[in-house]
Structure 1
Amino acid sequence: MELLYKSTRSENETATASQAILKGLADDGGLFVPTSIPKLETSISDLSKMTYQEVAYEVMKLFFTDFTEEELKECINKAYDAKFDTEEIAPIVKADGAYFLELFHGATIAFKDMALSILPHLLTTSAKKNQVKNEIVILTATSGDTGKAALAGFADVPGTKIIVFYPKDGVSPIQEKQMVTQKGDNTFVVGINGNFDDAQTGVKLIFGDKDLAKVMAKSNYQFSSANSINIGRLVPQVVYYVYAYSRLLANDEVCEGEKINVVVPTGNFGNILAAFYAKNMGLPIDKLICASNDNKVLYDFFSTGEYNRNREFILTSSPSMDILISSNLERLIFKIAGNDANKNGELMKALSSNGKYEITKEMKNDLSDFYGNYATEEETGKTIQQIYEDTNYVIDTHTAVAACVYKKYKKETNDKSKTLIASTASPYKFTRSVMCAINEKYDSMSDFELVDELSKISGVEVPQAIEEIRSAKVLHETVCEVNEMQKVVKDFLNI
């Protein structure tokens, strides 16, 4: 049976999976959501005997129903191959009383690789299925990780161009170096004088500009998105939660049907939403623990029922979470609003005009699956230090936010359920913050000296993604103001 997608802001707009992937964002500015969340058809016992690629097919075929088996398997096999440095794709490490799901073994050493390795293949397959003759222009805002993962995925992919905007002073030195050294004739990286929310809002405005869309069409271009607003990014993220549970079962860490908690360091809300979708598919998940940093807009939302972005934007050592407008939360709001596009649309309009909205008591009651808390900068550093000293396991700053919040949750609730923590980036991506948290003496070293020192103390080989940027040439030097973003896009496309 075909599963269709509809907009969170309109009762009228529906699309097939391939159409939703191609568009990225609905015409009315809403996000595409499945008309229903399908149930897993294969038992977890059977899934536990499968490879990552096989589990991916069992999950994705339920969402992407207009793809043939051959098309979908080809996308999966091209995505999850030797570019990952472990055969498991997403291995689990047991440490400090929890299970760390390492999602950073792809080409750019962050969890975004898990979805952005397959999105280019889903997109180009979708274009063929829909007889699209235009060149696809991927337009993306990044808080650090999405940018490089998208650039790596789309570099030199025929029929595509990719433009990435990032906050010039809002990413780690390693993140920036990864992006500005990106090769590929179809790639374009732009720093903006602003924060991630400015970049994300600017990209959404460009997407929504009907006059620009006409100009683009005349030049045989059309936009699509690699941000987590694209359903083609969200569904592959569901896969690794299903796979992780199947691994825990295969390794006798859980009994079949035993419920686990999942902790996710959260910025744009896509990664934890994927876990929520997995739960709704029938995966035995109890609590979804939403971990925030000092930009604790989500913690405040889960605590009070009010989402309010009218606050200071704080630059932290976990920059991928430095976000005040969590775009994917809209998909959850739509669901707890009873799938009412009008009600959701009103709330999103209030967010746009007043910077805040408040949900009803009934809607708040529907958030019982979630627990929210946050970690301060000091707590984040201390968590990295404590876990290293106790276990010799080194985690990055984002994972540390999650680990810290998990400890707070356990203390507050005394819940002893087995718990999976989404480890979203390699410590090599945030070497200075990680090493200085372990010992302040490292602060005097250069970034690449710290890389070598991290390898020594962790016993983990320096990833290829870091080795290749040591002496890489900077290829992208464009910086613009927020109000110049559309002009920069037009200049790159010569339209």
Structure 2
Amino acid sequence: MQYTSTRDSSVRFTASQAITQGLSADGGLLTPYYIPKLPGNALDELKDMPYQARAVYVMKQFLEEFTVKELTDFAAAAYGPEKFDTPAVAPVHTLNESTHCLELWHGPTCAFKDMALQMLPHLLTASLTKTEEFRTVCILVATSGDTGKGALEGFKDVKGTRILVFYPKDGVSAVQELQMVTQEGDNVGVASVIGNFDDAQTGVKRLFSDEALREELDKRGFFFSSANSINWGRVLPQIVYYVSAYCDLLRDEKIQPGQAINVCVPTGNFGNILAAYYAREMGVPIDKLICASNSNNVLTDFIRTGVYDRNRQFYNTESPSMDILISSNLERLLLTLTQDVDEVKGYMQQLNATGRYQVSDKVKEKLQQRFFGYCCDDGETEKVIGRIYAKDRYLVDPHTAVAFSALEQYRAETGDETPCVVVSTASPFKFCGSVLSALGEKNIASGLDVLDQLSEKTGLPAPAPLAGLRGKEIRFTTTVEKAHMVDAVLSMLE
């Protein structure tokens, strides 16, 4: 299996090289040359396997140079009981016969990023050995809320690595920020950026393409890589949980073999829903992919019109991990739809120069055959949280609520009652204030007392990783202008 750049078909890497490098030097995203198909009986075989075994089976299709034993050891370490609070790892909760919720927040940081970021450190450190890379890898991360903590926790004290996370100042929830700035580990760093997530993400990409900086790092014995979903090692483990969800529904006889399902995903950077698309390409019977956005609805508009335009107002919402106007992983989908690196490169050049691009009618038609886009604002998000809790006594966070809103809109518009898996991306306890407000509370407690307030309101215990934040020392207080992110990097590596 070779990996190529979305902007240059002459680029060829092995899986370990792609994971080590993270991003192509031309600014493109490293992507499998083709998507392998699951054997015809694979889903039947997988349905009775534990999550760890499913992960090995799926990832091996893309990682030819990794042995089954290596991947088995990685999966056991990444998804074991000391990391996840349920043996199912990514359980499927059924609300009714046509609506199921894939819970991806049972890991150490209570968000779906754990599903990939507990695996990535194993893939990366093994890749360093396979590629005979002896420099220390400096992992740069831009986060809209959850990736930062997930990456910090995954790479904490991992030999041969340093990790620096940038997050938008005043652009994440209080709990998300506290998770990051109290992070333990001798190889970690955190800095807030004045601006929004797109500023942080653009700044990180600029650091990657700064040749003078790369040369300086090389002199110091370092090189850059990424733990954002621009790194293929982040996207690959996400494909697993879509395969796993389908297998769970088969095993529990919620669907029949070969029966199609829809998937509804709250997404900002497009990595999560892209993984669902890749699962479909592998042979999982997924029909429609419903893309859910908050008020930052650039993806909704793109799916409906074929025009991607980030020149619009940016909103800080109650679902901050989706507060994104530049969806990096969309570039990988464009390559699949166009099969033309020059066309993709042209779109990306237009986006960089003008903030917008318009795909061809052929690409638009292909896109709309599979994807539907919907959005909702904070007011509707809270209403959905309240409705689901009142009807099903099931508590969801604001990101998951955005997805449920999208599903409601899709079904109302199309009348399609195909069984749907709604992807739940974070514990509601990471967004206590918004959830309590949605449940009718007027006086929201301050600090971490809000965890107790939500527990008392619902009878649900706060997840241990969040309750354990009490009394932790704040280690990181640096704030930088986006133009000076390089200073934070060089300071960390002194």
TM-score tier, shorter chain, comes to: over 0.9
User: 1:156: Cα distance to partner?
Assistant: 0.5
Distance in structure 2 (CA, Å) of the matches to 1:119 and 1:79:
9
The Cα shift of 1:453 comes to: 2.6
Could you list the per-position Cα deviations for residues 167-188 of structure 1 after superposition, in whole angstroms to 9, with x for gaps in the alignment? 0110000000000000111000
CA deviations on 1:438-495 (whole Å, 9 max, x unpaired) are: 1132x3422433211322343332111111112111001111111110111011112x
CA deviations on 1:30-74 (whole Å, 9 max, x unpaired) are 001111100112521111110001110110000111112222222
Q: Does 1:114 align with 2:115?
A: yes
Alignment match, 2:74: 75
**Matched-pair contact (CA < 8 Å) for 2:239–2:275:** yes
- Alignment map for 1:89-488 (pairs within 5 Å): 89-95=89-95, 98-337=99-338, 339-367=339-367, 368-441=369-442, 443-488=443-488
C-alpha distance in 2, partners of 1:473/1:328?
A: 35
Q: Is the 8 A contact 2:155 2:161 kept in 1?
A: yes
> In structure 2, what is the Cα distance between the partners aligned to 1:141 and 1:409?
31
Aligned amino acid, residue 64 of structure 1: L
Distance 1:75 1:184 in 2: 21
Superposition deviation, residue 391 in structure 1: 1.2
Indicate the SS of the match to 2:10. Answer: coil
Given that 2:436 and 2:444 are in contact with CA atoms closer than 8 Å, whether structure 1 keeps it comes out as: no
Equivalents in 1 of 2:316, 2:95: separation in Å?
29
Contact persistence 2:5–2:30 (CA under 8 A): yes
Q: What is the CA distance between 1:192 and its match in structure 2?
A: 0.8
| Distance in structure 2 (CA, Å) of the matches to 1:45 and 1:383 | 35
Shift of 1:398: 0.1
CA contact (8 A) 2:288 2:372 kept: yes
8 A Cα contact 1:170 1:319, kept in partner: yes
Query: Which whole-Å deviations, capped at 9, do the CAs of 1:334-393 have from their partners, x for residues lacking one?
Result: 1111x2111100100000010000000001111111000101111101000011111111
Matched with 1:43 is 42
Cα RMSD after superposing both structures: 0.9
Alpha-carbon contact 2:385-2:398 (below 8 Å) kept = yes
| Preserved CA contact (<8 Å) 1:432 1:447 | no
Q: Which runs of 5+ in 2 are unaligned?
A: none
Q: Name the residue aligned to 1:85.
A: 85
CA–CA separation in structure 1 for the residues paired with 2:163 and 2:450: 32
The answer (yes or no) to whether the contact 2:445–2:453 under 8 Å persists in 1 is no
Measured in 2, the distance between the counterparts of 1:444 and 1:379 equals 20
CA distance in 1, matches of 2:68, 2:288: 33
Please report how far the alpha carbon of residue 103 of structure 1 lies from its aligned counterpart in structure 2 after TM superposition.
0.1
Q: In structure 2, what is the Cα distance between the partners aligned to 1:29 and 1:51? A: 37
How far off its partner does 1:215 sit? Answer: 1.1
Identity of aligned residues (%): 50
Matched with 1:53 is 52
Contact 1:263 1:291 in 2 (8 A): yes
Aligned residues of 2:144 and 2:322 also touching (Cα < 8 A): yes
For 1:374 and 1:155, how far apart are their aligned partners in 2?
36
Contact 1:431–1:447, Cα closer than 8 Å, also in 2: no
Secondary structure of the 2:399 match is: helix
Equivalent-residue separation in structure 2 for 1:49 and 1:381 (angstroms):
37
Q: Which residue type is aligned with residue 28 of structure 1?
A: D
- In 2, the alpha carbon distance for the partners of 1:448 and 1:326 equals 32
Using the size of structure 1 for normalisation, the TM-score is 0.98
Shift of 1:77: 1.4
1:19 aligns with 2:17: yes
Report the secondary structure of 1:14's partner residue: strand
Query: Partner amino acid for 1:218?
Result: K
Deviation at 1:255, TM superposition (A): 0.2
Distance, in Å, in 2 between the alignment partners of 1:468 and 1:135 is: 31
Amino acid of the residue matched to residue 161 of structure 2? T
Q: Aligned pair 1:65/2:72, yes or no?
A: no
Q: Identify the range of structure 1 (390-399 vs 88-97) with the bigger mean alpha-carbon deviation.
A: 88-97
CA distance in 1, matches of 2:72, 2:62: 14
Match of 2:26 among 25, 28, 32: 28
Letter of the 1:85 counterpart: D
Cα distance in 2 between the residues matched to 1:9 and 1:475: 40
Do 2:433 and 2:444's aligned partners in 1 also have CA atoms closer than 8 Å?
no
Q: Is the 8 A contact 1:165 1:189 kept in 2?
A: yes
Q: Quick one: which amino acid aligns to residue 79 of structure 2?
A: Y
SS, match of residue 61 in structure 2: helix
Contact 1:393/1:458 (8 A) holds in 2: no
Paired with 1:333 and 1:43, the residues of 2 have a C-alpha distance of 28
Measured in 1, the distance between the counterparts of 2:306 and 2:38 equals: 31
In the alignment, the residues of structure 1 paired with residue 400 and residue 208 of structure 2 have an alpha-carbon distance, to the nearest angstrom, of 32
User: What is the CA distance between 1:28 and its match in structure 2?
Assistant: 0.5
> What amino acid does structure 1 have at the position aligned with 2:52?
Q
Contact 1:380 1:397 in 2 (8 A): yes
Structure 2 Cα separation of the partners of residues 258 and 353 of structure 1 = 44
- Paired residue total: 490
Give the corresponding residue for 2:491.
Answer: 491
Query: Please, which moves more after superposition, 64-73 or 174-183?
Result: 64-73
Per-residue deviation, 1:245: 0.4
How many angstroms apart in 1 are the aligned matches of 2:179 and 2:143? 13
SS at match of 1:366: helix
CA shift digits 1:107-135 (9 cap, x unpaired): 00000000000000100000011111000
- Secondary structure (helix, strand or coil) at the match of 1:223 reads strand
Using the alignment, how far apart are the partners of 2:56 and 2:178 within structure 1? 34
In 2: Cα distance, 1:405 partner to 1:447 partner:
31
Q: Which amino acid aligns with 1:456?
A: E
Amino acid across the alignment from 1:73: T
SS at match of 1:234: helix
Q: Describe the SS at the equivalent of 2:479.
A: strand
Counterpart-to-counterpart distance in 1, 2:89 and 2:31:
27
